[in-house]
Amino acid sequence: MGSGKSSVGKLLSEKINYKYGDTDEIIENLEDMSIKKIFRIHGEDFFRDLETGLLLSIKDSLKKTVLSTGGGMPIFERNRELLKNMGHVVYLQASKSTIVERLSGDTTRPLLKGEKLEEKVEKLLSTRLKYYEEAADITINTDNKSIDDIAEEIIEKLGY
Ligand SMILES: Nc1ncnc2c1ncn2[C@@H]1O[C@H](COP(=O)(O)OP(=O)(O)OP(=O)(O)O)[C@@H](O)[C@H]1O
Ligand SMILES: O=C(O)C1=C[C@@H](O)[C@@H](O)[C@H](O)C1
Ligand SMILES: [Mg+2]
């Protein structure tokens, strides 16, 4: 969360002339509700089912597209499997302090709401790291790098 998937993904798609999609944004449009409201009204499990349902519905038709996922997408094996079959998976890695810096003051991420942002980020990172690594074809550290530099690094590493 906050590693830059949406920001970098959008710029990358422009640079390589691919279409762009963001699973959080698509879900918000389909449900006509913000992620925050989906979590509040229907709960996290409902949102996770929407994420998997979305991957299943687009997996066979996605061509030349950069798809930014939600930060929790790879924590489920079913989603990792789907993502791996859809294309290259890039893990944008960021340290706790970078994430805290980028997301302090943000009110749109329900899993980080309230106090003790650092502790919440720490816990998410430590429990999720293995899934992110498992899902990834390549990993790029984003600390102290510009969005443009990160997009260029992906292009270089994946040879687009
Ligand atoms: N490399 C970067 N340098 C500085 N700021 C950044 C960088 N990448 C992202 N940001 C900023 O951090 C915030 C979070 O970025 P973004 O929304 O792209 O993250 P995300 O990975 O898509 O998060 P989520 O998992 O919640 O969808 C934004 O305000 C964005 O401008
Ligand atoms: O890391 C997560 O679990 C999340 C990240 C966001 O992209 C959203 O998908 C939502 O806020 C949950
Ligand atoms: Mg995003």
Q: Give domain limits for the chain.
A: 5-158
Whose tokens are 């550290």? That residue is 141
Query: Does the C-beta of 71 come closer than 6 Å to ligand 2?
Result: yes
Nearest ligand, CA 27: 2
Shortest-distance Cα residue to atom 1 of ligand 2: 71
CA–CA gap between residue 112 and residue 131 (Å, rounded):
19
Residue 40 assigned to a binding site: no
54 contacts 27 by C-beta, under 8 angstroms = yes
Query: How does the average pLDDT of the chain come out, rounded?
Result: 97
Nearest ligand, CA 28: 2
Percentage of the chain exceeding pLDDT 90: 98
Residue 3 assigned to a binding site: yes
Residue 63 assigned to a binding site: no
Q: Compute CA distances 6 → 1, 109, 116, 118, 131, whole Å.
A: 10, 14, 24, 22, 19
Q: For residue range 133-146, what is the model confidence (pLDDT) as tens digits?
A: 999 999 999 999 99
Shortest-distance Cα residue to atom 3 of ligand 2: 72
Query: Does the C-beta of 26 come closer than 6 Å to ligand 2?
Result: no
What is the DSSP pairing of strand 19-22 with strand 138-141? unpaired
Q: For residue range 64-107, what is the model confidence (pLDDT) as tens digits?
A: 999 999 999 999 999 999 999 999 999 999 999 999 999 999 99
pLDDT attached to residue 108: 95
What pTM was estimated for this model as a whole?
A: 0.97
User: What confidence tier does 62 reach under pLDDT thresholds 50, 70, 90?
Assistant: very high
Asked if the 5-158 domain carries CATH number 3.40.50.300, the reply is yes
DSSP 8-state secondary structure symbol assigned to residue 75: G
DSSP 8-state secondary structure symbol assigned to residue 59: T
What DSSP element (H or E) covers 102?
Answer: helix 96-103
11 contacts 119 by C-beta, under 8 angstroms = no
Q: How many Cβ atoms are within 10 Å of 140's Cβ, its own excluded?
A: 20
pLDDT attached to residue 137: 97
